Amino acid sequence: MAAAIEIPVEPLTEAAFAPFGQIVGVRDGAPLFAAPGVKTWGVDFKIDGTVEIHFARFDHADGMAFAKMERHFNVTQAFLPLDGAPSVKVFATPTDPDPSAIPEREDMRAFYLDGGRGVMMWKGTWHSDILPAQPPTGAVAMITAIETTVEMAEMGKAGRYDGKLTQIVDFAERFDQTFRISDPNGVIAG
Amino acid sequence: MPTTIEIPVEPLTAAAFAPFGQLIGEQDSAPLFAAPGVKTWGVDFEIDGTLEVHYARFDHRSEMTFAMMERHFNVTQAFVPLDGAPNVNVFAAPTDADDFSAIPGRDAMRAFYFDGGQGAMMWRGTWHSSRIPARAPNAAVALITAAETTIELAEMLAAGRYEGTMTQVVDFAKTFDQTFRITDPDGLIAA
């Protein structure tokens, strides 16, 4: 069993995140909507399918380790932290739709989600699960497509990795690789 | 000078909220999706139009007051508190969608405390206040709505119109000389 490969966590900024998607937060530029007492900023959400909103609870794992990444071709999936719960999520930019186009360690970037903003990923952006920074769990609201959820449940049951809407890569199984988040710069709040 | 009517805030439960919509939170039923390390529960979101996701920042005021409510006919609008920021929202169950005079009275209004850990999705036509942050200086939520609703609402506000094809807004101060204030007799709002 190979040692876990470390990925250092980085602060989340609009510029750093741009190759992977958009931040659901205060953006540069004029508000999308404003009325007395409220201002809003939007993201470029896209979906081929039917919108589905989930409350998702992710278990905290020691070392914030992960071995799987996935990408969705039909929806700019978005994650909105609840409870202000901090987490880390790892991304890699969209690659060729060919199932053999799998991101390498150098393509992976880990961002710290401090609980105050959400993220929306471009179609095809590779991503890990949400990795809660604190035990026991972290909750998010997730905006996705029903068709994506249904296919992923079928893929899970059948042990399939290459779907029409989603591709999953198990790095442990295929490459004997696992990853863990490191925090050399103390980005994760104590 | 308008009359100020007090509305006591209540704890948020799925049962208490059922007439108004569904909670984006853990549910008693089996998960919608489960995989190692994750479980999810869904809501019955519906939209006639184009999905839009906003980050919305609402200002806190010294008193938790409001004078306007609105309802949307084309989308089961949802909001998700960010930063764990607590807020209060007032709701009234949907009234006749074809009748702009079907406006909820005080007795139809219920104020719920959102502790930051759950979101909510409203049925089409559920009357609602704006988000009322429980703490200074503001509270942020992600708002899941229809692009068409946002555009029409901006046009309505610019034109001073209250009755749109997708949204109706009621200004109780202007129409009924009433404003509302949230009270917390049971100490629900965390210090």
Q: Where are the domains of chain A?
A: 5-25+44-182
> A5-11 and A179-182 as β-strands: parallel, antiparallel, unpaired?
parallel
pLDDT > 90: what percent of chain B? 96
Question: Mean pLDDT over residues B120-144, rounded?
Answer: 96
Considering only CA atoms, which of A136, A92, A90 is closest in space to residue A113? A90
> Which among A43, A52, A55, A70 is the top mutation candidate for probing chain B, defined by the most B β-carbons within 10 Å of its own β-carbon?
A55
Does the pLDDT at position A3 exceed 90?
A: no
ipTM: 0.93
**Residue-number span of the structural domain to which B54 is assigned:** 3-183
Q: State the pLDDT at residue A1.
A: 63
Asked if A40 and B56 come within 8 Å (Cβ–Cβ), the reply is yes
Asked if B25 and A84 come within 8 Å (Cβ–Cβ), the reply is no
- Max CA distance (Å), chain A: 59
Q: CATH for A5-25+44-182?
A: 2.60.120.480
Burial of residue B103 (CB within 10 Å: 0-12, 13-18, 19+) is middle
Q: Give the separation between CA B42 and CA A100, rounded to whole angstroms.
A: 33
Report residue A137: phi and psi, to 5°. -150, 170
Asked if A39 and B51 come within 8 Å (Cβ–Cβ), the reply is no
CB A98 within 8 A of CB A169: no
Query: Which of chain A's residues have a Cβ under 8 Å away from the Cβ of B118?
Result: 55, 82
The CA distance from B98 to the nearest CA of chain A, in Å, is: 26
Query: Which of chain B's residues have a Cβ under 8 Å away from the Cβ of A149?
Result: 32-33
Which residue of chain B is at minimal alpha-carbon distance from A77? B53
Q: How confident is the model at residue B179 (pLDDT cuts 50, 70, 90)?
A: very high
Radius of gyration for chain A, computed over Cα atoms and rounded to the nearest angstrom: 16
Of A42, A57, A152, the CB nearest to B39: A57
The number of distinct structural domains making up chain B is 1
Q: State the pLDDT at residue A189.
A: 75
Structure confidence by residue, pLDDT tens digits, A94-149? 999 999 999 999 999 999 999 999 999 999 999 999 999 999 999 999 999 999 99
Q: State the pLDDT at residue B191.
A: 62
Q: How confident is the model at residue A190 (pLDDT cuts 50, 70, 90)?
A: low
Query: Which of chain B's residues have a Cβ under 8 Å away from the Cβ of A85?
Result: 84
Q: Give the separation between CA A158 and CA A154, rounded to whole angstroms.
A: 6
Q: How confident is the model at residue A62 (pLDDT cuts 50, 70, 90)?
A: confident
Amino acid at B98: D
CB burial readout A117-131, b (16+ within 10 A) else e = bbbbbbbbbbbbbbb
Q: Is B188 part of a structural domain of the chain? A: no
A116 touches chain B (CB under 8 A): yes
CA B165, B171, B58 angle in degrees (round to 5)? 90
Tokens, residue A174: 């295929």
Mean pLDDT score across all residues of chain B:
96
B164 touches chain A (CB under 8 A): no
Q: Give the DSSP per-residue string, A29-74.
A: SS-SEEETTEEEEE----BSS-EEEEEEEEE--GGGEE-EEEEESS
Does the pLDDT at position A4 exceed 70?
A: yes
CATH of the domain at B61: 2.60.120.480
Structure confidence by residue, pLDDT tens digits, A24-35? 999 988 999 999
Of B27, B39, B80, the CB nearest to A141: B80
Which residue of chain A is at minimal alpha-carbon distance from B58? A38
Q: Residue written as tokens 């719920």?
A: B112
Strands (E), B12-50: 21-24, 33-35, 38-42
Question: Mean pLDDT over residues B29-46, rounded?
Answer: 95
Q: Is B87 part of a structural domain of the chain? A: yes
CA A3 and chain centroid, separation? 23
Query: Which of chain A's residues have a Cβ under 8 Å away from the Cβ of B33?
Result: 54, 56, 149, 152-153
Find residues 44-103 of chain B whose CB sits inside 8 Å of chain A: 45, 47, 51-59, 61, 78, 80-85
Dihedral sign, Cα of residue B44, residue B70, residue B99, residue B102: positive
Question: What is the phi-psi region of residue A63: left when phi exceeds 0, alpha when psi lies from -120 to 50, beta otherwise?
Answer: left
